[in-house]
Chain A
Amino acid sequence: MKITGAEIFVNALKKEGVDTIFGYPGGVVLKVFDVLYGEKGLKVVLSRHEQGATHMADGYARATGKPGVVLVTSGPGATNTVTGIATAHMDSIPLVVFTGQVPTKMIGNDAFQEADIVGITRPCTKYNFLVKDIRDLARTIKEAFVIATTGRPGPVLVDLPKDVLFDKAEFDYPSEVKIRSYNPKYVGNKWQIRQAAQAIQKAKRPVIYAGGGVILSNAAAELKDLAEMNQVPVALTLMGLGAFPGRHPLFLGMLGMHGTYQANMALYKSDLVVAIGVRFDDRVTGKVDEFCPEAKIIHVDIDPTSIRKNIHVDIPIVGDVKFVLTDLIREIREMQAAGETWEAIPKTWHRQIDEWRTEHPLSYEWDEEVIKPQYVIEKICEAAGENAIVTTDVGQCQMWTAQFYKFERPRTFLTSGGLGTMGYGLPAAIGAQMAFPDRLVVDVAGDGSFEMNVQEMATAVIQKLPIKVAILNNGYLGMVRQWQELFFNRRYSSSDLTGQPDFVRLAEAYGAVGLRAARPEEVEPTIRKAFETPRPVLMEFVVNREENVFPMVPAGGANYQMMFGAERKKSESRLRVARG
């Protein structure tokens, strides 16, 4: 029986196991929304802006590991998704974004609500399609899901002209597709893995530098095994947080620009860096030449272009992290079982790392009168438990969360790392809560970032999602102000946000619960109350206006030359050290 393109679309999504679509209707996709009306198997989450819908799908994907699905209309609907798509692209998040398009005969005519979205998104998608013929529709949807979720994951866009959605064809959904020019490599080269195992066995000052790739390939258990078997300390990137337990004795913390002193020093002094699912981002390496000058580098990544892109690698291994680590662990075990000498890591290395830990621990200066944002993060972490999902916006709120929150499990920390998209946190929290209605989902936002997608408060309320938004309100674009303080003579050009709305009343206007804490002793009760309330809650924490994120490596500087904050002031009694 022949069915319409719109029906094929919905049936194909069901075949893919999609349970939630994030979207926004408009002229050319009404046919699809009509089919979705009353459809039981698919939940449609109506956002208040297409960017919000895309971040929601992204949050859903990061929390679950399944692809996030977006459906929007042509023209502005499509262009509004671009920031969300670019966000997912930079962080390798699987999304399938369906955009409506004007009828095929009108494409190129500057028709009403026409945009060349395939052209616009070519550089920020893993791949994109324009479906010109109803007979290609089912296969294209299949290919889109395959490409988005395999290899190095990423967003795929499918542009659907209006007439294709109205045309009819038999529904024949392929159970698999073969794309001859697309064959991602999962298993690492055996010889290279043996080389890596030998290097690990011989290393005197090894360190693991792991990132988002570990989470994407669900390899946290393997990472833990690898670290523990030879007692190799682990530093994580921002994207990697949660891939290794935050309170584990071998955990060094995050590395890079706002990383811990011990993580950056360990890399700087190490003789072997085992880089796993990372891409040597500039926020991680600082000045590349002085990142790990004495180390041999093993680099495991599924994307060959990540390897030797900006740093020389001695042992490259192209493959999926889970496959490669499994083989690597087996290889090391076999070597050890065969009695091959394992030169255990000298105690001096661990002792040295402990010295760095105590020399410059993560810390902040306590204040009796004013709320310190780091304190808020610590209290949220204490109250939330290991299973909670935390999203962030971008800037100081993001860095404090990365530093002071102890993530124990993968897929519990959702943040825009590569693109650094302000306004990501709230919609991402909504996407995560849609996937896990029973888990606690907290968005740590800045007052600036929050307003970039504030409209999605309505979505949270309408969908009855009990998300908790914690705004660290300093009335500034905090990170911008911090750079202006440090590098632009305190000239706070366009970074002062004085005149923000009353966030509590704003929350109430949306139908959410609004709470405010303005003094340190109010922080804990506010968090407790929010977490006990089974509704969307917005907590406003009025925090110290000019607090800075430390430690910090100035842009372009070497990682061992970190700037420190609180201890600079030598007020030891007021110094609060982050608990491990």
Chain B
Amino acid sequence: MRHIISVLVENKFGVLSRIAGLFSGRGFNIETLSVAPTLDPQISQMTIVTAGDDQIIEQITKQLNKLIDVIKVTDLTEKEFVEREMVIVKVSPPTDQRAEVLRTCEIFRGRVVDSSPKTYTVLVTGDDKKIGAFIEILRPLGIKEIVRTGKVAIGRE
């Protein structure tokens, strides 16, 4: 099963490598990973999406906790949470389909962030399903390039 694990770490050099090394060294998977500073510039927040059975997830959270630079580990999947991901897609549709791109973008509440005579670059945020659906609809219109941020998630009050 998929788990979203939120990790607070000391913002020091080498921490990302320690986390990545832990996953690779023990054969755990990282599906997505995002890192950014928190309000306290000395602390960073990581959101890791990983998959495994209960025993593996238990090991992952324990092993993360064991790392000296890790301050707190929360498995968000165990509780209520909100998750979002952002995707930026560069589409180059045939001339007669350019309007279709804009319509799709509107339906998904996306924004056009750049355009050129041949391409539109559009941005959409949402959960897994929404992003997946958006990409599937754009695919026949001619996707040139795609970038995703990886997931960020936060627990609900």
A122 close to B18 (CB less than 8 A): yes
**Which single residue of chain A is at the shortest CB-CB distance from B9?**
A181
A304 at interface, CB cutoff 8 A: yes
Given contacts A181-B10, A181-B71, A308-B55, A122 and B17 within 8 Å (CB-CB): yes
What are 23 residue pairs bridging A and B, where the CB atoms are less than 8 Å apart in the complex?
A119-B14, A122-B17, A122-B18, A123-B21, A123-B25, A126-B68, A130-B14, A147-B68, A179-B68, A181-B9, A181-B10, A181-B68, A181-B69, A182-B68, A303-B66, A304-B62, A304-B65, A305-B59, A305-B62, A305-B66, A308-B55, A308-B58, A308-B59
Given contacts A180-B71, A181-B68, A305 and B14 within 8 Å (CB-CB): no
Q: Which of B60-92 contact A (CB under 8 A)?
A: 62-63, 65-66, 68-71
Q: How far is the CA of A122 from the CA of B18 in the complex (A)?
A: 7
Size range of the interface on A? 10 to 19
A181 close to B17 (CB less than 8 A): no
A166 at interface, CB cutoff 8 A: no
Given contacts A122-B14, A122-B21, A305-B63, A181 and B70 within 8 Å (CB-CB): yes
Binding site for A on B (CB under 8 A): 9-10, 14, 17-18, 21, 25, 55, 58-59, 62-63, 65-66, 68-71
Q: How far is the CA of A78 from the CA of B17 in the complex (A)?
A: 20
A119 close to B63 (CB less than 8 A): no
**Which single residue of chain B is at the shortest CB-CB distance from A312?**
B55
How close is A136's CB to chain B, nearest CB, in angstroms? 11
Q: How far is the CA of A119 from the CA of B71 in the complex (A)?
A: 21
B66 close to A304 (CB less than 8 A): yes
A529 at interface, CB cutoff 8 A: no
A574 at interface, CB cutoff 8 A: no
How close is B92's CB to chain A, nearest CB, in angstroms? 40
**Which single residue of chain A is at the shortest CB-CB distance from B64?**
A305
A118 at interface, CB cutoff 8 A: yes
A127 at interface, CB cutoff 8 A: yes
A118 close to B14 (CB less than 8 A): yes
Q: How far is the CA of A560 from the CA of B155 in the complex (A)?
A: 49
How close is B53's CB to chain A, nearest CB, in angstroms? 12
**Which single residue of chain A is at the shortest CB-CB distance from B65?**
A304
Binding site for B on A (CB under 8 A): 118-119, 122-123, 126-127, 130, 147, 179-182, 303-305, 308-309
Q: How far is the CA of A91 from the CA of B18 in the complex (A)?
A: 21
**Which single residue of chain B is at the shortest CB-CB distance from A152?**
B66
Closest 8 CB pairs of A and B: A305-B62, A181-B71, A127-B68, A304-B62, A182-B68, A123-B25, A305-B63, A305-B66
**Which single residue of chain B is at the shortest CB-CB distance from A318?**
B62
Chain B hits for A180, CB < 8 A: 71
Chain B hits for A308, CB < 8 A: 55, 58-59
Q: How far is the CA of A130 from the CA of B17 in the complex (A)?
A: 14
Chain B hits for A130, CB < 8 A: 14
Please name 20 further chain A to chain B contacts, defined as beta carbons within 8 Å, in addition to the given A118-B14, A119-B14, A122-B18, sorted by A numbering.
Answer: A119-B17, A122-B14, A126-B68, A130-B14, A179-B68, A180-B71, A181-B70, A181-B71, A182-B68, A303-B66, A304-B62, A304-B65, A304-B66, A305-B59, A305-B62, A305-B63, A305-B66, A308-B55, A308-B58, A309-B59
Q: How far is the CA of A212 from the CA of B62 in the complex (A)?
A: 21
